[in-house]
Amino acid sequence: MRKYFSFFLIFIFLIVFSINAYAQTLLLTYDGSVHKYTGNIFTLKINGETVSSEVPPVLLGEYNYIPVRAVFEKLGAKVDWSESKKIMTIKFDFMTILFKMDDKNAQVNNKIMKLKAAPKLVNKKAMAPVYFVSEILKLDLDVNSEKKLITLSYNENTVIPRKLQSVKYTAKDDRDIIEISLDYYKKYNTSKLGNPERIVIDFPNTAAPKTQQKINAGSRLLKSVRYAQFDNKTARVVLDIVGHPRYKFEEKGNKLLVNLYNSDVPDRGGS
């Protein structure tokens, strides 16, 4: 009985080993031939969100390559592919990038920039070295080989406009809460204006809907919340307040909370 049980354990071990070995093996076609890839198969995250793609990020030679279309579309760009010229064109409002496959010369806003490694077609998908994407867009880059994770993150110097993702209003017994969610923010400017009374919050280098959006609150503290693109580089949120409520800003990750309190409520450290 023990003999059969031992054979069973060995059989299970071989199956598990084979599955794991297969999971780490990838057939990649590039540079005119098929390659058996057994290196790290990375997960890619941008600002904490996983980016899915048909061909995963991989290490080719000395450089980690990431899928061009999946990454740049995630960042808000329009991506076009020319099959005849083997050129990938990436268009932001502020920048145009041209990658030609197997060419170390990239074009950024009509300026030629030299890459350390050329973009490649891998399994018929355009791939580019991640370091270059990080450099031209001024994104933070972290490659964790142990966790098989590549992370791109916004910082204060990132050239891509941030996005105002949503604005929500909640009424509670003791206060009104306005929750402003962005994909990233570090700075914001506030002002309190009169006639009519309102609190204005500006987010620099941030994109918002071009058409004004409005949330009708109708509370004793807040008439409404309005938000839209104020100018080319600024998203503006306006709180149409009633009277002179106290208010407090609270930063939570990529969210900014504005708490409105009745002036009669005891001070909780607000403005």
Split at pLDDT 50, 70, 90, the class of 4 is: low
Confidence of residue 6 (pLDDT cuts 50, 70, 90): low
Average pLDDT estimate for 124-136: 97
- Mean pLDDT computed over every residue of the chain: 90
Q: Both tokens of residue 42?
A: 């990375």
Helices vs strands, H then E, count in the chain: 3, 25
3-state secondary structure of 9: helix
Q: In terms of DSSP bridges, do strands 33-37 and 58-60 run parallel, antiparallel, or are they unpaired?
A: unpaired
Instruction: Render 171-231 in DSSP notation, one character per residue.
Output: E-SSEEEEEEEES--S--EEEEETTTTEEEEEEETEE--SSPEEEE--SSSEEEEEEEEEE
DSSP state of 269: S
Cα–Cα distance list, 248 to 90, 173, 234 (Å): 41, 16, 22
Contact 47, 154 (CB under 8 A): yes
φ and ψ at residue 7, rounded to 5 degrees: -60, -40
Domains of the chain: 27-153 (3.30.457.10), 162-261 (2.60.40.3500)
Element spanning 250, H or E: strand 246-252
| pLDDT score, position 232 | 85
Q: Where are the alpha helices (DSSP H) in 29-180?
A: 68-74, 130-137
Instruction: Judge whether residue 185 has pLDDT over 60.
Output: yes
**pTM for this entry:** 0.73
Instruction: Report the Cα–Cα distance between both ends of the chain, in Å, rounded.
Output: 77
Using one digit for the tens of pLDDT, what is the confidence trace for 132-174? 999 999 999 999 999 999 999 999 899 998 899 999 999 998 8
Residue 186 pLDDT grade (very low, low, confident, very high; cuts 50, 70, 90)? confident
pLDDT tens column, 42-56 = 999 999 999 999 999
pLDDT tens for 95-123 read 999 999 999 999 999 999 999 999 999 99
Q: Tokens for 129?
A: 């070295």
CB 226 within 8 A of CB 214: yes
Mean pLDDT in residue range 55-63: 96
Query: Phi first, then psi: what are they for 224, rounded to 5°?
Result: -160, 165
* Bridging pattern class, strands 87-91 and 234-241: unpaired
